[in-house]
Amino acid sequence: MDAELSNRPVLQVQGLRVEFPTRRGVLTAVDDVSFEIMPGEVLGLVGESGAGKSLTGTAIFGLLEPPGRVASGTIVLGGDRIDNLPHDRMRRIRGKKIGAVFQDPLTSLNPLYTIGRQLIETITTHMDMTLAEARQHSIELLAEVGIPAPERRIDQYPHQFSGGMRQRVVIALALCTNPRLVVADEPTTALDVSIQAQIIRVLKRLCRDHKTAVLLITHDMGVIAETCDRVAVMYAGRIAEIGPVREVIKNAKHPYTHGLMGSIPNIGHDIDELTQIHGSMPRLTEIPPGCAFNPRCPHAFDRCFVERPDLAQEDKSQVACWLFDKETADA
Amino acid sequence: MHDATLRAPAASAVHEPVVKAEGLSRHFDVSAPWLNRVIERSPRLILKAVEDVSFAIDKGKTFSLVGESGCGKSTVARVIVGLYPPTRGRVYFEGTDLQSTHGRAEASRMRHRMQMIFQDPFASLNPRWRVRDIIAEPIRAFGLLDGKEETERRVDELLELVGLAASDGAQYPHEFSGGQRQRISIARALASQPDFLICDEPTSALDVSVQAQILNLMKELQREFGLTYLFISHNLAVVYHVSDTVGVMYLGRLVETGPAKEVFSRPQHPYTRMLLDAIPDLDMTGRERTPVAGEIGNPINPPSGCAFHPRCPFAADRCRTEIPRPITRAGGHRIACHGIEENRIPDAVPPYQPGAGSVA
């Protein structure tokens, strides 16, 4: 890959806002989210249920279920805007330029087709290959994701594979057209720990080899620590903190990230009580004014209740918190 | 805040475990219907979900069962609480054999002293009942208090105990978040003043910050009432955090039991080592993890000998033919492994040192 291309981000999301019009008014599920991913980079998107992390992934795919819609912001993939494309043009990008790995490998494979047919169909739809070439390519891919005896397994149906093997097939499917970007939404959540480690390894190795950018969506900080280069922590639809994974995990700045890290039990840490973030994430209908985290924040002060903080550089990360604002420090 | 009758401290100085399981097995018949078996000449299929499991839990302590899906840990919980009768083996509650408790009165006296908390707080609460009726049900069912007023007072007290407001009792379960619902489940479990709680993946459906709240609450209640827990989870970090002793299960059998710190810092059985090695490293020490080979076997047709042998890097001929008997090491650490018994497995590089590696 030439130097110029590998220096440009694969994906640029700028000011993304996803809204759901309801009878009780418009709900903003994703609010002013911006990030970019470089080739071969793994960006983690972490947060609790309802933080808007999966919706961000769905919006990039252009698969938001109506009435959900991208209300503002831009999504640029490899230099081209993809958030305003008509349905059939987006279809050609999905699968070719963006691969997908979802949580449940059983529902993302068609149970009525052999996995070979599903791989070959995807390859011949998006790439200029004959059936025989596509089949050969599929077998190579299956071998690459670690499926034993791929020339025999390719003619089997999804139910003949175990959960971990199925997820490997899904990864092969996501990578079969050599996409620029893979969006992986909770790829290991449905799997047991020993299998989870295998899958993370496969995903990481393949994306490094193919220089594919990855958006990894998960609630599991352990998976993030293990896999990502950078991580964005989402809370109530916004990014609270984004930075290099080591920095965010070992040196969390936002009080939410801090609380989140403290609440994770860890083997070898002998503590009697876990740090607790009191309360729970607000519903979309009840997001408070100012910083959305203010009702649960132990450090909240006047400004947090009226003004919403934007992401600002702090050390190696960016944090959306008034505690790190210059004016606060001066006062 | 609680009346003295709530929990009278046990006067007995005799060291008797609250719960003891001895050689517990539970098999399920998963054969095809009789006619199909005759036509297709297929044999009976017996799923040995739990096979020869023994452990004891002391008063006020937490024993955890850990293992991957399908290893039989939830079945153990259900056998202990009496939802399934055991195929073989005995369960003792404070020295009384639960299988021998004949007659309703005696059984119910035992039953109200053990309660269960389930994984999914969305499925385990009746959506048509108000929260106060859900919590009052065990009190009414066991006839623990007489009079409506007294029951209501007790329910209010329980709600406050688990961190909810007494006024929340008038609501329905759907009005609460997952974490709050799990608090309701805990309040219901505590309503019959149990000594022993079986918690089957109580936090698996919850977000981490909420999980921390529930785990802290459970520990607090244990300290206050001297509760004994059987805790079931697949999350090793959670298990490390809550347990005094742990048992690691693989395909229906206990492969290793012992004090939590001992098992986690000096894991012996190759399966325990593998599980510990598979957890993502939050300390980011850059520790190189050995990739885990293979997947869990089929419980209907488990591998011969030691069920773990197809995945075990130390498997020898004996492991393929003979089922290992548990051997006991210092400190009550029990391991069922031929390799450990024969001293041919090198000591593990301890991945976790208790107390060390605190987060900066």
CB A204 within 8 A of CB A173: no
With bands split at pLDDT 50, 70 and 90, how would you rate the model's confidence at B354? very low
| Residue B356 scores a pLDDT above 90 | no
The answer, for A225 touching chain B at a CB cutoff of 8 Å, is yes
| Residue B5 scores a pLDDT above 50 | no
Q: Could you write out the DSSP letters of every residue in A183-240? A: EEESTTTTS-HHHHHHHHHHHHHHHHHHT-EEEEEES-HHHHHHH-SEEEEEETTEEE
Burial B136-165 (b: 16+ CB within 10 A, else e): bebbeebebbeeeeebbebbbbbbebbbbe
Q: Could you write out the DSSP letters of every residue in B128-159? A: TS-HHHHHHHHHHHTT-S-SHHHHHHHHHHHH
The answer, for A160 touching chain B at a CB cutoff of 8 Å, is no
| Residue A291 scores a pLDDT above 90 | yes
Task: Specify the pLDDT at position B288.
Answer: 62
Mean pLDDT of A145-151: 89
Q: What confidence tens digit (pLDDT) does each residue in B277-292 have?
A: 888 777 766 666 666 6
Q: What angle do CA B270, B275, B281 make, to 5 degrees?
A: 130
Radius of gyration of chain B, Cα coordinates, nearest whole angstrom = 22
Task: Specify the pLDDT at position B1.
Answer: 41
Task: Specify the pLDDT at position B289.
Answer: 66
Task: Specify the pLDDT at position A71.
Answer: 92
The answer, for A255 touching chain B at a CB cutoff of 8 Å, is no
Q: Select the more confidently predicted residue: A269 or B314.
A: B314
Q: What is the ipTM of this complex?
A: 0.80
Mean pLDDT of A244-259: 92
Q: What percentage of chain B exceeds 70 in pLDDT? A: 89
CB B290 within 8 A of CB B346: no
Tell me which chain B residues have a C-beta less than 8 angstroms from the C-beta of A269: 357-359
Nearest to A194 among B292, B354, B359 (CB): B292
Q: What confidence tens digit (pLDDT) does each residue in A151-168 have?
A: 999 999 999 988 888 999
| Residue B215 scores a pLDDT above 90 | yes
Task: Specify the pLDDT at position B6.
Answer: 44
The region, left, alpha or beta by phi > 0 then psi within -120 to 50, assigned to residue B233 is beta
Query: Cβ of A266 and B177 within 8 Å?
Result: no
Environment class of residue B10 by beta-carbon count within 10 Å: exposed (0-12), middle (13-18) or buried (19+)? middle
Find which of B69, B175, B275, B282 to mutate to test the A interface (most A CBs within 10 Å of its CB). B282
| Residue A51 scores a pLDDT above 70 | yes
The answer, for A4 touching chain B at a CB cutoff of 8 Å, is no
Q: At the fourth CATH level, which superfamily is domain B16-113+194-341?
A: P-loop containing nucleotide triphosphate hydrolases (3.40.50.300)
Q: What is the mean pLDDT of chain B?
A: 85
Q: Are strands B196-200 and B114-117 parallel, antiparallel or unpaired?
A: parallel
| Residue B13 scores a pLDDT above 70 | no
Mean pLDDT of B303-318: 90
| Residue A265 scores a pLDDT above 80 | yes
| Residue B243 scores a pLDDT above 80 | yes
| Residue B14 scores a pLDDT above 80 | no
Q: What confidence tens digit (pLDDT) does each residue in A170-208 have?
A: 999 999 999 999 999 999 888 888 888 888 888 888 888
| Distance between CA atoms of residues B297 and B127, nearest Å | 38
Taking CA atoms, A84 is separated from A59, A94, A102, A180, A185, in Å, by: 11, 14, 24, 19, 23
Query: Cβ of B282 and A264 within 8 Å?
Result: yes
| Residue A240 scores a pLDDT above 70 | yes
Mean pLDDT of B207-212: 89
The answer, for A273 touching chain B at a CB cutoff of 8 Å, is yes
Query: Cβ of A225 and B291 within 8 Å?
Result: no
**What is the distance in angstroms between the Cα of A226 and the nearest Cα belonging to chain B?**
6
Query: Cβ of A268 and B264 within 8 Å?
Result: yes
CB pairs under 8 A between A and B: 133
Query: Cβ of A197 and B292 within 8 Å?
Result: yes
Tell me which chain B residues have a C-beta less than 8 angstroms from the C-beta of A193: 68, 234, 236, 275, 278-279
Backbone angles phi, psi at B250, to 5 degrees: -140, 120
With bands split at pLDDT 50, 70 and 90, how would you rate the model's confidence at A327? confident
Query: Cβ of B281 and A265 within 8 Å?
Result: no
Task: Specify the pLDDT at position B4.
Answer: 41
Query: Cβ of B296 and A192 within 8 Å?
Result: yes
Nearest to B240 among A198, A265, A275 (CB): A265
Could you tell me how far CA A227 lies from the centroid of its own chain?
12
With bands split at pLDDT 50, 70 and 90, how would you rate the model's confidence at B301? confident
Mean pLDDT of A134-150: 92
| Residue B189 scores a pLDDT above 60 | yes
Mean pLDDT of A32-41: 93
The answer, for A249 touching chain B at a CB cutoff of 8 Å, is yes
Task: Specify the pLDDT at position B251.
Answer: 92
Strands (E), chain A: 11-22, 25-37, 42-46, 69-77, 80-81, 98-101, 181-185, 213-218, 230-235, 238-244, 312-314, 317-319
Q: Select the more confidently predicted residue: A164 or A4.
A: A164
Task: Specify the pLDDT at position B102.
Answer: 63
Task: Specify the pLDDT at position A24.
Answer: 84
Q: What is the mean pLDDT of chain A?
A: 89
Q: What percentage of chain B exceeds 90 in pLDDT? A: 49
**What is the distance in angstroms between the Cα of A249 and the nearest Cα belonging to chain B?**
8
Task: Specify the pLDDT at position A6.
Answer: 66
Mean pLDDT of B36-42: 87
| Residue B353 scores a pLDDT above 80 | no
Q: What percentage of chain A exceeds 90 in pLDDT? A: 55
| Distance between CA atoms of residues B90 and B85, nearest Å | 10
User: For chain B, which residues make up each domain, given as ranges?
Assistant: 16-113+194-341
Tell me which chain B residues have a C-beta less than 8 angstroms from the C-beta of A221: 208, 282
For residue B220, the chain A residue with the least C-alpha distance is: A273
With bands split at pLDDT 50, 70 and 90, how would you rate the model's confidence at A46? very high
The answer, for A7 touching chain B at a CB cutoff of 8 Å, is no
Q: What confidence tens digit (pLDDT) does each residue in B90-114 have?
A: 999 888 888 776 666 777 778 888 9
Q: Select the more confidently predicted residue: A121 or A276.
A: A121
For residue B359, the chain A residue with the least C-alpha distance is: A250
Structure tokens at A100: 């997908």
Least confident window among A207-211, A245-249, B124-128: A207-211
**What is the distance in angstroms between the Cα of B51 and the nearest Cα belonging to chain A?**
22
